[in-house]
Chains A and B, each alone.
Chain A
Amino acid sequence: MRYEAPGSLDAATRLLADAEGAARVLAGGTDLLIQMRGDIVEPELLVDIKNIDEMREIAEEQGRFRIGAAVTGMEIMEHEAFNAAWPGIVDGAKLIGSIQIRGRATLGGNLCNASPAADSVPALIAAGAVASVIGPDGRRSAPVEEIATGPGQTSLKTGEIVVSFDLPERPPRSGDAYLRFTPRTEMDIAVVGVGVNLTLDGSGVCSAARVSLGAVAERPLSVEEAAAALVGTRVDDDALAKLSKAASEACRPIDDKRGTKEFRIEVAGVLAERAARIALERAEQR
C-alpha cells in the first residue's frame, strides 16, 4: 500500500487519476481506517488531503462562509463567528463521536463516507450548502444533497475530491438546528436525524425554510414538503404539526438492528418539530 500526502489539489487529483489499483482519499480516517481494519476496503493508494491548505480553512467573505472539506469537527466547534451564524451545523459536528474522534473527523469525510446517518449532513443540506468538487475534468459545484446516493455510494466520479462547502448569505432572523435520536447520549449512531433551517420576516412570519432528514432513507434527504409546512406561518403549533406529519411521510426507512421502520417514521416527526422549535428560538434571537 502506498501513502501520499500532496500539498496541492492538482497533485492530489493527479495521484487519484493515475492510480492503478483501488485508491482512496484519506481525511481524518475515522471511517476509512476502521473499514480497512475490518477488511471492507483494501486500498493500494491512500491520498491524504490534510496538507492542502484550501481544504483546511474556514473563510468568511461578505457574510458567506466557505468551509474546507478537511476541516475537523473541533475546528468548527471552536470557530465563534461560524457558531453564531450556523449553530445547527455545529450541532451536527458536535455530535460526531467523542472529542478524540472530532479532533480528526472532517465534514468532507462525513459526507463522502455516505452513511445515511451521517450527523453533519442534514444540517448542511438544510443550510443549502453547495459542495465544490474538483476532479480530472476540473471544478464543478453540486448541492450537498446530491453527493451521497446510497449507503457508501456517492455521485463523485473516479478521482473527484470534495474541496469545500459554500454556504449562502445569512439573512437576519435566521436560525438552524440539528437533532438526532440515539438510545445513548453519545458514541452512538443516529436512528433518525433532522436538520431545520428557517428565516423569519420582520413580522415573525417564516419567509424561507429547509428541512433535511437523516437515517430514514438510503441517503440524507431534503424534504420540501416539510419545509413548505413552515413557510408563510408563524411556526405555531399548527404549522409544527404539519411539519411533523410531512417529515414522517417523507421517510422510507428499513427495519434493522438500529430501529424499526415504524419507530423511525414516528420519531422523525417528533424530532422535526423539536428541531424547528430550536431553530425558531435561535432565529428570534438574531
Chain B
Amino acid sequence: MATMLKYEDKDLKVVGTRPIRPDGVDKVTGRARYGADINLPGQLYGRVVRSPHAHARVLAIRTDKAEALKGVKAVVTRDDFPEMPVEFAAAGELIVNFRDVTRNMMAREKVLYDGHPVAAVAATSDAVARRAARLIEVDYEVLPHVIDPVQAMAEDAPLLHEEQITEGVDPAPEKPSNLAKVFNFAKGDVEKGFAEADLVIEREFNTKPVHQGYIEPQASLASYTEDGQVEVYTATQGHFVIRAQCAKLLQMDISKIRVIPTELGGGFGGKNNVYLEPLAIVLSRKSNRPVKMTMSREDVFRSTGPTSGAHTRIKIGCRKDGRITAAEAQLDFQAGAFAGSSVPMASMCTFTRYDLENVKVTGNDITVNRPKVAAYRAPGAPISIFGVESILDEMAIELGIDPIELRMRNAAKEGTQTYYGPTFGPIGYEDTLKKALEHPHLKEPLGPDQGRGIATGFWFNIGKETTTTLNVNEDGTVTVILGTIDVAGGSRAAMAMMVAEELGIDVDRVRPQIGDTQALGFNFVTAGSRGTFASGMAVTVAARKAIDTMRERAARTWDVPVDGVVWEDGHARPASSNVGEFEPLSIAEIARKSGMTGGPIAGHAEITAEGAGPGFGTHIVDVEVDRKTGLVKILRYTVIQDTGKAIHPAYVEGQFQGGAVQGIGWALNEEYIYDENGTLQNPGFLDYRVPVASDVPFIGTEIVEVPNPNHPYGVRGIGEVPIIPPIAAISNAIHDAIGIRLREQPMSPPKVLKAIREAGNGAAE
C-alpha cells in the first residue's frame, strides 16, 4: 500500500529557515567528487567510437588493428552485448524499451544518428585509447536520413525502423513508418465547443531540440571482479535505475552490481539512462581492470538526450467574455532515433491549468535520425504550452481583456477535472495569478521597443519508491542515508531540515548522505520533482519510527507504559503528571544508553510515496528588442509559483531562477544545427548558446504556499514548473514590444531581424 502522510499545520522551528547546505563547503572548495574525479588503482581509459553518419547500415566492424596496438586491453562492439526483447520500464519521466536501450548504447544493425556508438576500447592511457579508436574500421552503407518530424511522417520518408508499425491507431496500419505511436486525450465535444465560440484562433508553432546543458559530462568507472561482481561509480540521477538497466542489459543478478553515485553536476532529466555504464562494465570484464570512461562535451551533445524538437498546431475558441469553449492540439514530437518522446506528458499538460469542457489533444511520437531524446525538466511541457499561451495572448488583445484576467476567468481550481482523468485537490494556480496582478513588476514603466509578456505552466509531480535509513548515533547526532540523489538542487539540506524538525534538534546535528545501491532498497530516480516530496515523506516516516523507539526506551527506563511518554523538543517527557515525575531524557541521553536499553536506534522507510501535489506558476517578463540587430534583451523577470511549502526557501528560489534561465536560453538562442548530411554542427557551448550570467537579470521570485494535503509539511514538487512558461512569455513580450508574433523557437537575432524585415515589407499581421 502506498504511503501518504497528511499535512499538519503546526509551528515550525527549522522548516522554512535558510541554513547552509551540507554539500556546500565541498563544492566551493573543490573537494566534492564528481564522476570524473573518481579513480581506481590500475584503471584503464575507455573511448567510444561513434558513427559519422546520420543513418547507415553497419556492414562490418574490424577491430584487429586496434587490438594489436600496444596498451589496448579490450575492445567491445555489438557482438559483446546480448539481443534484448521488447520490454518496457520506467526510467525517470520517460519509458524505455530494452530492445532500444541496448541498440542506443551500442549500435546493432544500423547507426541511426551522428554520434551513435559503434565500438569502445579500453587502454592503458587516454592517448592510446584515442589512437586505438581511430584504428577501428567500420564499413557503412550510408542511407538517406530524416531529422524533421513533419518530413519524417511523409509517405516516402527514409524509414528508421523497418518493423515499426504505428501504435495507438485503429485499425493498425499495414506499412511501417516513422510514426511510432499516437496518443489521444479527449473530454467533451470540441466541435460543439468551437461552434459556441465568438473567437477561434488556430496557429502552428515550431521548436528545435535543446539539450539539458548540464555542466558535468557523463562519467563512469566500472570495476569487475573475477567472481562476477561489479562496482560502478557514476554520475546519475538514479543509481537504482542504472543498476536495473545494467542488470537487464548484461543479464546479471541485481545483487552483483553495486552502483555508487558520485556528486552530480546537473542532470535535468538527462542522467536517468545508461550510456557509458554497460560499456565500462564489459570492457572491465574483458580486461580484468577497472575502466574509466568520460564523455567530452562533443560526445554529450552528439549522443546524449536532448529534448524533442516539435511542430504543434493549436486551436482555441472562446466567448467574448474570454471563457474558453473548446481547445484542440496536435503535437508532433521528435523522439530521436528510438520511440518514446515526452509527447504523452506534453499532451496532458497542454491545456491543464484551465478549467475546460471540450478538449482534444493528439500527440504523435516520431522517430528521426537524431540522438534518442531524454527527459528535460518538465519533459515536453514548455513545447506544448508555447502555442497555447501565445494564442491566449492574442485572444486577450483581441478581446481587450488583461492577459492575467483572461487566465483567471478560465483558471483550474480545486474540483476541476483534467482532460486526462484526475480531479484537482487544493491547488495554487489562481493564487499565482492574483499575486501576479498585484506584483510591482506590472507597474514598472516600459520604454520604446520594450514589452511585457506573461505565461503560465503546470506540472504533475510524482512520488514513487523511496527508501531511507536514519541512524541515531551514540552521541545523539543523526545520520540519514538517502536513496534519492540530490541533483544539486539542495535536497540534502531539505531532508536534514525535516528530520531536525521531527526530532526537535538543531539541523547541524543531522548529517544527510546519499547511500549506494547496496545500502538501501530500491529508490526511484530523482525526476518528476519528486525528491523533496517523496524523500521528505520517507525521512519523516523514518524519524517518527526512531522517535517511537526512543519513547519506548524512555518508557523502559522509567518503567512506565509507552503511551505515557511523549516526544517534545528533542526530549522524551512524561505525557502528564499522572505518569510520574521524571526528568526529560534528551536524544543524546537516550542514545548514550541505547546499548543497555535494547540496542542502537534507527528508523527506516521503505515506501511508495503517493499524493504528489500539482505545481503551477505564472511568469512575467520584460524584454527590449534591438530593431536593427534582432537582439532580445531580458530586462526584468519574475517567477511566481505555488510551492506547497518551501522547506528551504533559498533553494526553492534557486529552482525558480534556474528553471527560468534555462527557459530563457531555450527561448532565445539554443538549438541544434545540422548540416545537409545530418551531422551536428554545434556540439559545444561556444555555438550551442546557453545563457551566461550577464545575459540575464536577477530573476525575481515569489513563493506561494498552498499546502499539499498529502505531505506532512505540505510539499509539492517545484523543480520543473519554472522552465515551462519562459518561451511563451518571451514571445508574448516581444509582441508587446514590436508588434510581431514569433511562433518559432529560438527567437535568435537572425530570426527576429528577419521577422522585422518581413513585417516591414507588409508580410506580418
Contact = CB atoms under 8 A, between A and B. Distances in A.
Interface of A: 39, 181, 183-189, 191, 256-260, 262-263, 266-267, 270-271
A229 to B, nearest CB: 18
A263 B753 contact: yes
B361 to A, nearest CB: 34
A188 B753 CA distance: 19
B631 A183 contact: yes
Nearest to A37: B296
Contacts of B686: 187-189
Contacts of B687: 189, 257-258
Nearest to A266: B753
B749 A185 contact: no
A256 to B, nearest CB: 8
B694 A186 contact: yes
B750 A259 contact: yes
10 contacts: A181-B631, A181-B749, A183-B689, A184-B692, A184-B695, A187-B685, A187-B686, A266-B753, A267-B628, A267-B749
B368 interface: no
A184 to B, nearest CB: 5
Contacts of B694: 185-186
Contact of A185 (B629, B682, B692, B753): B692
A232 B685 CA distance: 45
Contact of A39 (B130, B630, B692, B749): B130
B628 A270 contact: yes
Contacts of B748: 183
Interface in B672-723: 673, 681-682, 685-687, 689, 691-692, 694-695
Contacts of A263: 630, 749-750, 753-754
Nearest to B674: A257
Interface string B628-663: 111100000000000000000000000000000000
Given A186-B692, A189-B687, A258-B687, 8 more contacts: A183-B748, A184-B669, A186-B694, A257-B681, A263-B749, A263-B754, A267-B629, A270-B628
A260 B681 CA distance: 14
B668 interface: yes
Interface string B612-637: 00000000000000001111000000
Contacts, number: 51
Identify which of B682, B685, B753 gathers the most chain A CB atoms within 10 Å of its CB: B753
Contacts of A184: 669, 689, 691-692, 695
Contacts of A259: 750
Contact of B695 (A185, A258, A262): A185
A188 B687 CA distance: 8
A183 B668 contact: yes
A263 B757 CA distance: 11
A39 B133 CA distance: 13
B345 to A, nearest CB: 30
Contacts of B753: 263, 266-267
A257 B746 CA distance: 13
B692 to A, nearest CB: 5
A115 to B, nearest CB: 12
Contacts of A186: 692, 694
Contacts of B689: 183-184, 188
A163 B44 CA distance: 44
Given A39-B130, A267-B629, A187 B692 contact: yes
Contacts of A271: 629
A189 B692 CA distance: 13
Identify which of B631, B673, B750 gathers the most chain A CB atoms within 10 Å of its CB: B750
B749 A183 contact: yes
B676 to A, nearest CB: 12
Contacts of A185: 692, 694-695
Contacts of A181: 629, 631, 749
Contacts of B754: 262-263
A260 B629 CA distance: 13
Interface string B93-105: 0000000000000
Contacts of B685: 187
B278 to A, nearest CB: 26
A187 B685 CA distance: 9
A270 B753 CA distance: 12
B679 to A, nearest CB: 11
A184 B691 CA distance: 7
A181 B749 CA distance: 10
Interface in B540-579: none
A39 B629 CA distance: 36
A60 to B, nearest CB: 33
A262 B756 CA distance: 13
A74 B130 CA distance: 36
A266 B748 CA distance: 15
Pick the 8 closest A-B CB pairs, nearest first.
A263-B750, A185-B694, A270-B628, A257-B681, A257-B673, A183-B669, A257-B682, A187-B692
A43 to B, nearest CB: 15
Interface in B342-363: none
Nearest to A192: B629
A39 B673 CA distance: 22
A267 B630 CA distance: 9
Nearest to B746: A183
B617 to A, nearest CB: 26
A186 B689 CA distance: 11
A186 B696 CA distance: 12
A184 B688 CA distance: 11
A206 B629 CA distance: 27
Contacts of B695: 184-185
A188 B673 CA distance: 17
A144 to B, nearest CB: 25
